[in-house]
Amino acid sequence: MKTKTELLKLYNLPLEELLSEAKKYTFKEFEFCSLISARTGKCSQNCKYCAQSTHYNTSIYTHPLVSVDEVVKVAKESKENGAINFAIVTSGKTPDEAKDFDELLKMIKEINKLGLKSCASIGILNEKQAKQLKEAGLVRFHHNINTAESYHSEICTTHTFQDRLNTCKYVKEQGMELCCGVIIGMGETVEQRIEMAMELAQIAPNSIPVNILTPIKGTPFENYFDKIDEENIIRTIAIFKIANPKSSIRLAGGKKARLSEKNIELLIENCVDSAIVGNYLTTTGFSAQEDKKKVLNANKTLKSL
């Protein structure tokens, strides 16, 4: 594993040199995944970036857990658009916070029947819940560290950084794939972005989704548009790839709002191996057709089942 000093030195290279180094580790095949916000809003946690928190007045549309049939419908559409992984995403600290866990297990089984790789992003787990998800056939679990440990208390105080690490540990102990990433542009320093890359290297997830903060009106971070520019987004993602050569670096939320199409293609060509297609939780993304075009323009091949 590279040291913090080595990664900082790489971060500050001329951009072309940095991207050339990252490209050495980037996969030729490109993978798409998609998601459904199966339960939206009314979250008890106080994450300062999040439109779904009950601590802030963001006026988003909220809804309880959708039906199994609705999940199957959206999953089928995602598969037709080229997605390989399909994720059920719910708001809330833990998967049983709204007593929906049994329904979530049914959804996982139905997604697997479609030939998709099931994924769930349903909060902080305990060991028993991780075991139940594995027994239901869940292939991949998504749970971000969000930021560097040294910056976590500036983001959230209703759960700890260790809670997040424990969830990742339980998932890996059950033999499930792990998707674990970050949100950049929340006021962290360059050094803290390096810390994120190093923490992820310790966790060794299969996939690292990189989200770029999209400031939401009503949240404490509603005016955080200037906390990171496009060049530093590119530099950060390149460092994540170099520090995590065996993990797929996944371009996720914020790419449409915070990056030019030219820079998205630059990232796909040099340091990004996968992306989430379609919309996210409370923000919109590119269509599957738009993202496919970017991948082909960057001379990548699309991974298929």
Number of neighbouring beta carbons within 10 Å of residue 175: 7
pLDDT the model gives residue 280? 44
For 26-45, b/e burial (b = at least 16 CB within 10 A) is: bbeebbbbbbbbbbbbbbeb
pLDDT averaged over every residue in the chain:
93
Catalogue all structural domains in the chain, each as residue range(s) with its CATH number: 4-294 (3.20.20.70)
Secondary structure tally for the chain: helices H, strands E = 12, 10
Measure the CA–CA gap between 8 and 3, rounded to whole angstroms.
Answer: 9
User: Which one-letter DSSP state was computed for residue 283?
Assistant: S
Q: Which two tokens stand for residue 183?
A: 């949100």
pLDDT category, 239, cuts 50, 70, 90? Answer: very high
pLDDT tens digits, 207-232 = 999 999 999 999 999 999 999 999 99
Q: Which amino acid appears at position 194 of this protein?
A: I
β-strand pairing of 85-90 with 301-302 = unpaired
Q: If you average pLDDT over residues 183-195, what whole number do you get?
A: 98
Measure the CA–CA gap between 259 and 254, rounded to whole angstroms.
Answer: 8
The shares of helix, strand and coil residues in the chain, as percent rounded to the nearest 5, are 40, 15, 40
Q: If you average pLDDT over residues 153-179, what whole number do you get?
A: 98
pLDDT category, 147, cuts 50, 70, 90? Answer: very high
Measure the CA–CA gap between 214 and 220, rounded to whole angstroms.
Answer: 12
3-class SS at 280?
A: coil
Measure the CA–CA gap between 11 and 279, rounded to whole angstroms.
Answer: 30
Measure the CA–CA gap between 63 and 26, rounded to whole angstroms.
Answer: 39
Q: If you average pLDDT over residues 72-93, what whole number do you get?
A: 92
pLDDT tens digits, 261-300 = 999 999 999 999 999 886 445 445 566 677 778 887 777 8
Measure the CA–CA gap between 256 and 97, rounded to whole angstroms.
Answer: 32
Counting Cβ atoms within 10 Å, is residue 1 exposed (0-12), middle (13-18) or buried (19+)?
Answer: exposed
pLDDT the model gives residue 286? 63
DSSP letters, 4-33, are HHHHHHHHTS-HHHHHHHHHTT--SEEEEE
